[in-house]
Structure 1
Amino acid sequence: MLKFFFLVLMVVVALLIYTATRPDTFRITRATLVKAQPDTLFALINDLRRHAAWGPWESLDPAMKRVYSENSRGVGASYAWVGNHQAGTGRIEITESVPDERVRMKLDYLQPFEAHNSVEFTLDRQGETTLVTWSMQGTNNFMGKLMGLLFSDRLIGGMFEKGLSNLKALAESATPAVLERS
C-alpha cells in the first residue's frame, strides 16, 4: 500500500512540474471552408445578435440571459450573458472590424472561472468559397496550464468546430433577405 501511495505521489509531482514548464500563453485555432462569400460570413460574425443563430455555446443554456449594447455590430458592440454552470457568465466586445476580412473581440469570462482572452475570426476568399478561421489566445496561469493539459484544446476546439459547422450551414443557406434582418 505504501508503494502505491508513493507511486501516485510521484505521478502527481511529475504532472505538477510538467504543468509549471508549459507556456504562459495559449492559442486555439480551427478553420473551415464555406461555400459563401466573405460579405455573407462577415454579416453573421460582425453582428453579435446573430451569434445566437450559430454560436456553439448558445445551446448550453436555452434560458441564458443576454444584454446587448445599443449597437450590436462593429467596433464597440458588446453583449454580456449570464447562464447556467455550462454557459457561465461573461462579456464579449468587438475591438476591430475590417469588412469582409476580420473581426477581433475581447472575451471576458467571469464564471465559473475568470479568463480574459482575445478572439479573432478571419475570412480568406478562395474563389467561390471562403476559409473561415476562428482563434482564441490568452495567457495561462498555473491552473490554466493544468486545465489546458486536460481539456482546453479538445474542449474549446470542439466547440469552435461545432460553431463553424453551424456558421457554415447558416451561411450556405442564407439569402440576401436573411442577411439584411437585424
Structure 2
Amino acid sequence: MTEYGIVERSIVIDAPADRILPHLTSFHSWVAWSPWEGTDPELKRTYAGTDGTVGASYEWDGNRKAGAGTMTATSIAPDSFDVALSFTRPFRSQSLVHFALDPTGASTKVVWTLKSPKTAMSRIFGLVMNMDKLIGNDLDKGLAQLKRVVESA
C-alpha cells in the first residue's frame, strides 16, 4: 500500500461554484491566480487539448525556481476538478491535485488538496523542510488570489 503526503487548504469565495469552476478547469486562467505565477518572467508555457475539458494539459518549463512539468485535467464535475501533476525538474515527482467546491448558501467553500506518494527522496526532503507549511503557504496564496479574481469579475 502506497503512503501519501497530503497538503490541503480551503477558502470561502462569495460566488456560486459554477462561477468558480471555469477559473480552475481552464489552464489559461491559472495565469491570473496561480501562486507560482511570476517565479520566472520567461517561463515557457504550452497548452494542449481543448481547454476546460478532460485531457487538456498545460506544460511549463522555467528557471530553477519554476522548474518544469505538466498538468493534465483528469476529471471535471460541477463540484470538483482533478489534475495529474508531473514534475520533471528540479526533481521528478507525481502528484494528484483535487479541487472540491462545496456550496454554502450564496458562497462556495473551495478545498485544494495535493496528494503525493511518499518516496525515499520526499522522506529525506521532509526531514529538513516542513512540506505542509512550504506547499500549504503556496496553496493559501493561490486560493486568496482565486478569491480576488472570482469576486472582482
CA distance in 1, matches of 2:150, 2:124: 36
Greater relative contact order: 1 or 2 (C-alpha under 8 angstroms, separation 6 or more)? 2
In 1, are the aligned partners of 2:49 and 2:55 still within 8 Å (CA)? no
Aligned counterpart, 2:85: 107
- Structure (1/2) with the larger strand percentage: 2
CA distance in 1, matches of 2:126, 2:9: 16
CA distance in 1, matches of 2:41, 2:75: 29
Matched ranges for 1:52-71 at <5 A? 52-71=31-50
Q: Which amino acid aligns with 1:103?
A: F
**Is the radius of gyration larger for structure 1 or structure 2?**
1
- Structure (1/2) with the larger helix percentage: 1
Q: Which amino acid aligns with 1:111?
A: R
CA distance in 2, matches of 1:119, 1:168: 18
1:146 aligns with 2:124: yes
Aligned counterpart, 1:95: 74
Q: TM-score, normalised by structure 2?
A: 0.95
Question: Where do 5+ consecutive residues of structure 1 fail to align?
Answer: 1-22, 175-182
Q: Which amino acid aligns with 2:45?
A: R
Aligned counterpart, 2:150: 171
Aligned counterpart, 1:30: 9
Q: Could you list the structure 1 runs, at least 4 aligned residues long, displaced by more than 4 angstroms after superposition.
A: none
Aligned counterpart, 1:130: 108
CA distance in 2, matches of 1:142, 1:24: 11
How much does 1:25 deviate? 1.5
Q: Deviations over 1:128-169 (max 9, x none)?
A: 110000001021112201223413111111100000000000
How much does 1:70 deviate? 3.6
Q: SS in structure 2 opposite 1:143?
A: helix
Number of residue pairs matched? 151
Deviates more, 1:67-76 or 1:144-153: 144-153
1:48 aligns with 2:27: yes
How much does 1:110 deviate? 0.6
CA distance in 1, matches of 2:92, 2:104: 38
Q: Which amino acid aligns with 1:40?
A: R
Identity of aligned residues (%): 34
1:116 aligns with 2:97: no
CA distance in 2, matches of 1:147, 1:72: 34
Q: Deviations over 1:7-45 (max 9, x none)?
A: xxxxxxxxxxxxxxxx83111100001111101110100
- Superposition RMSD in Å: 1.2
1:82 aligns with 2:61: yes
